[in-house]
Amino acid sequence: MFPADFDYVVPRSVDEAVAMLVHYGDDAKVLAGGQSLIPMMKLRIASPRVLIDVNGIAELAGLRRDGDRLVLGALCRHADVAASPLVREHLPLMHDAAQLTADVQVRNRGTVAGSLAHADPAGDWPAALLALDTHVTVAGPDGTRTVPLAAFLVDAYTTQLGANELITQVAVGIPPGRTGGAYAKFERRAGDFAVASAGVQVTLDEAGRCAAVAISCGAVAPSPFRARAAEAMLAGQALSEDLLAQAEHAVRDEASPFADTRGSVEYKRHLAGVLVRRACVAALARARGERVDTLHL
């Protein structure tokens, strides 16, 4: 399939990109890695009249530490996250998610910000980053604003982003000591979207109890969600086998998947519970300082 005809413009700064978005309005789409947009254009699901290619905006590249936050520029690729020692040390959940997203070619082009803007319910970044303290900064004609990821993601393929706004960065809080995180994903074949996925971030207190816990699930509801009932079960507790089994069951009830070629409703509910449990075990081990490899299932 070939896309419909389009014009192609290349801004050199965020201000220029925003001015172009304002000028072209709904007729334009931002092009980042192109790993979701170009396939959609080829299938004619999207037919923007103008592509605004932001890849030449140097200030949007890369990732860096800024105090107690990890800041990903809007052009930070999945591969940049996977290769970052900073991420591996402080936010292993993100390291897992980066490694489990798509294949090498897609990881080298696709961006974290693009994944959030696309808001695929089975996407890895929306689910993974929901378990972390994540904020999205967008620039528009009235300046910039920063919103928590949970508010940014509105529904399947729907975000708060206005037609004339550009994501400029994604910031993730660097957690305190005795914190561990993990992201687990089940896919039909390597490089595919998730049948189900789960992110877990745990902070332990001095007694080894769960001082804070965040659990997110992907691909098992119209959009990724925090498993609040399971979180409430684990908060303040020592994470025993029994408790994790209860949390697993709670997650199955909180999930609301639909049946498709990737599996039935019951199968996906089951997977969601299993993945949360496995991610909990890995996150707990990491919080204790143990080494756990990415959960390739």
Q: Do 202 and 180 meet the contact criterion of CB atoms below 8 Å apart? A: yes
Binding mask 83-122 for ligand FAD (x = CB under 6 A): ------------------xx---x---xx-xxx-xx----
* Distance in angstroms between the alpha carbons of the first and the last residue of the chain: 33
124 part of the interface to ligand FAD, by CB under 6 A: yes
- Which span (31-39, 84-92, 226-234, 249-257) binds ligand FAD, by CB under 6 A? 31-39
Radius of gyration of the chain, Cα coordinates, nearest whole angstrom:
19
Tell me how far, at minimum, the Cβ of 43 lies from ligand FAD, in Å. Answer: 12
Q: Which residues contact 7 (CB under 8 A, 6 or more apart)?
A: 49, 50, 51
Tell me how far, at minimum, the Cβ of 212 lies from ligand FAD, in Å. Answer: 26
Q: Do 38 and 6 meet the contact criterion of CB atoms below 8 Å apart? A: no
Task: Give me the helix-helix angle, 241-254 and 265-287, nearest 10°.
Answer: 140
Judged by CB under 6 A, the residue of 11, 18, 24, 30 near ligand FAD is 30
- Which span (186-194, 205-213, 222-230, 257-265) binds ligand FAD, by CB under 6 A? 186-194
| Number of amino acids touching ligand FAD (CB under 6 A) | 30
Nearest to residue 114, comparing CAs of 84, 83, 80, 88? Answer: 80
- Which span (23-31, 87-95, 244-252, 263-271) binds ligand FAD, by CB under 6 A? 23-31
250 part of the interface to ligand FAD, by CB under 6 A: no
Tell me how far, at minimum, the Cβ of 5 lies from ligand FAD, in Å. Answer: 18
Tell me how far, at minimum, the Cβ of 208 lies from ligand FAD, in Å. Answer: 34
Which is closer to ligand FAD, CB of 36 or CB of 203?
36
Which is closer to ligand FAD, CB of 74 or CB of 217?
74
Q: Count the alpha carbons within 13 Å of 115 in the hemisphere toward its beta carbon.
A: 29
Nearest to residue 212, comparing CAs of 180, 241, 259? Answer: 180
Closest-approach residue to ligand FAD (CB) = 110
Judged by CB under 6 A, the residue of 73, 92, 123, 180 near ligand FAD is 123
Q: Which residues contact 284 (CB under 8 A, 6 or more apart)?
A: 180, 202, 204, 239
Cα–Cα distance between 101 and 78 in angstroms, integer?
A: 7
21 part of the interface to ligand FAD, by CB under 6 A: no
Which is closer to ligand FAD, CB of 117 or CB of 295?
117
Judged by CB under 6 A, the residue of 131, 132, 136, 167 near ligand FAD is 167
Judged by CB under 6 A, the residue of 193, 195, 247, 280 near ligand FAD is 193
Q: Which residues contact 71 (CB under 8 A, 6 or more apart)?
A: 63, 64, 65, 169, 170, 171
Strands 194-204 and 179-187: antiparallel
Dihedral Cα 259, 262, 266, 271, nearest 10 deg: -140
Judged by CB under 6 A, the residue of 18, 41, 63, 74 near ligand FAD is 74
The continuous run of DSSP H or E covering 72 comes out as: strand 69-73
- Contacting residues toward ligand FAD, per CB under 6 A: 29-37, 39, 74, 101-102, 106, 110-111, 113-115, 117-118, 123-125, 161, 166-167, 191-193
